[in-house]
């Protein structure tokens, strides 16, 4: 048997229904996505720096400014030629170095000869 709602619960449910109707009428929908903590912290700093009251305001303004750009500018910004194709973390670099060293020990003869780093080797005569 279904539980009957209390007055407060009914009022809350009615309020949520009204809010949902208003959102549908205005064409508003919720959007959820995952974001790295660093970007979230940077966005929070920007919200505070620029005086936004809510993160929604900032996202709304960002979307409107994006849409206002000419298509060529949007395409240019999405290309990101400065972005690396991949990122090698320090941990991955250490793992690669350790694996390389172990492989050289198993099969000697391919040792790496590091370049000289003293200035005398690079100065002209």
* Residue found by looking up tokens 């407060």 in the block: 8
The rounded distance, in Å, linking the Cα atoms of 49 and 3 is 48
Q: What is the pTM of this model?
A: 0.44
Task: Write the pLDDT tens digit of every residue in 79-103.
Answer: 876 766 677 889 999 999 999 888 8
Q: Which residue has the higher pLDDT, 7 or 82?
A: 7
Residue 91 CB burial class (10 angstroms; 0-12, 13-18, ≥19): exposed
User: What are the C-alpha distances in Å from 23 to residues 4, 17, 18, 87?
Assistant: 27, 10, 9, 41
**pLDDT tens per residue, range 20-75:** 999 899 888 888 888 888 888 888 898 999 999 888 888 889 999 999 999 998 88
């Amino acid at each position: 048997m279904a539980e009957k709602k209390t007055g407060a619960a009914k009022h809350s449910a009615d309020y949520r229904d009204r809010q949902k109707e208003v959102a549908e009428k205005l064409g508003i929908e919720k959007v959820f996505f995952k974001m790295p903590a660093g970007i979230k912290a940077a966005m929070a700093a920007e919200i505070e720096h620029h005086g936004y009251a809510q993160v929604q305001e900032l996202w709304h303004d960002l979307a409107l400014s994006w849409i206002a750009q000419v298509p060529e500018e949007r395409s240019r910004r999405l290309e990101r030629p400065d972005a690396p194709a991949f990122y090698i973390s320090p941990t991955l670099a250490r793992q690669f170095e350790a694996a390389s060293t172990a492989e050289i020990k198993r099969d000697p003869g391919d040792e790496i000869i590091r370049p000289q780093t003293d200035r005398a080797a690079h100065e002209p005569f």
